[in-house]
Amino acid sequence: MAQQRPQYTQYVFNNYLLNPAVSGIENYTDFKAGFRSQWTGLEGAPVTSYLSINAPIGQNFLYGDATSMAGETQNPMGRLATRDYMAAEPHHGIGGMVISDRTGPITQTSLAATYAYHLGLTSKLNLSVGVMAGINRISLDLNEVRLQNPDDAAIYNGNNSQSKPDLGVGVWAYSGNYYVGASVQQLVKQTITFGDRSVYNQGKTVPHYFFTAGFKVFLDDDITLLPSVLFKLIDPAPATYDINLKLAFSNKLWVGGAYRHNDSKSAMAGIFINSAINVGYSYDFTSSNLRTVSNGSHEIVLGILLNNRYKVSSPQRTW
């Protein structure tokens, strides 16, 4: 009844984790570090941490290389910047990520590299397609497992640490005031078992499908409302969705809220400290039955903008 990949409240802060087509979407190298403690107070609850980096590559652009853009703007998320928005020229994007997700005695560590190609469909609309390939290592800590039968064949003399290939693809359409994306992870189904494979072979990885969209509503020249939605389809788990609402004040800070179907309500806030560093924090108020034993979920994301030649404080093409 649960997904096999980590979940994130601040997916809007780093859609790259869910969709490889986002690789190289900005005109700088985007580095992010995140940490999530889910259902704090509950023994064995999920704890997730990650590092991700992606960058554009390409030469012979109208204004230089792949890190160039038409002009400098004080607030990439403001009304004026959106009015003058120009689609990015065709270019490549590359990146990589490492994710550690621990739930109870099981730890999953994922290493992946990504590639994307961004194509201008119109003067204001881009389409990118991306692919992700990597390795997912799954480990079982036997010190945290108590067995009625010490010789249980489900894990006894089994493979308590195993590596599986991982493959994902995605597509992303984006303009100055909206985006739409779709992706799938764990395309290559794998058998997962910690014991005798001839008997215990029911554990399987399954594809995870993500569909997301967002748009801008201007309340003022520099105050922007940013609704977005994320649908997750993971058979045989029930379909679920997240609804997010961010309010951005110029390129200085943002606040927001989120609702995850049958799971939680969230409060979020972020600050763009300068052209090199930004930080986001969210807290999930658990609304499922786990609220009786959980103190909610914390998530923090640190962003670093490398090779930021225009010294922008906030993203131009992801928001």
- List pLDDT tens digits, range 12-59: 889 999 999 999 999 899 999 999 998 888 888 899 999 999 999 876
Residue 174 pLDDT: 95
What is the pLDDT of the chain when averaged over all its residues?
Answer: 87
Answer yes or no: is 100 within a domain: yes
Residue 252 pLDDT: 86
Answer yes or no: is 104 within a domain: yes
Range name among 184-188, 203-207, 300-304 with the lowest pLDDT average? 203-207
What's the average model confidence in pLDDT over 104-110? 92
Decide if pLDDT at 77 tops 70. no
CATH number of the domain enclosing 111: 2.40.160.40
Range name among 145-149, 164-168, 213-217, 243-247 with the lowest pLDDT average? 145-149
Range(s) of the domain holding residue 221: 11-306
116 strand-pairing partners: 93, 130
Considering the entire predicted model, what is its pTM?
0.87
8 A C-beta contact, residue 317 and residue 85: no
Residue 2 pLDDT: 65
In the chain the first and final C-alpha atoms are separated, in Å, by: 31
Decide if pLDDT at 62 tops 50. no
Domain count of the chain? 1
Looking at per-residue confidence, does 197 or 165 come out higher? 165
Give the torsion sign (CA, 250, 32, 107, 298). Answer: negative
Residue 85 pLDDT: 83
Report how far residue 87's alpha carbon sits from residue 64's, in angstroms, rounded to the nearest whole number: 15
Report, in angstroms and rounded to the nearest whole number, the Rg of the chain calculated over CA atoms.
Answer: 21
63 — pLDDT class (breaks 50, 70, 90): very low
Answer yes or no: is 3 within a domain: no
- pLDDT tens per residue, range 288-304: 777 777 778 999 999 99
Report how far residue 27's alpha carbon sits from residue 55's, in angstroms, rounded to the nearest whole number: 8
Answer yes or no: is 317 within a domain: no
Range name among 11-25, 200-214, 270-284 with the lowest pLDDT average? 200-214
Answer yes or no: is 182 within a domain: yes
Residue 196 pLDDT: 67
Answer yes or no: is 52 within a domain: yes
Answer yes or no: is 235 within a domain: yes
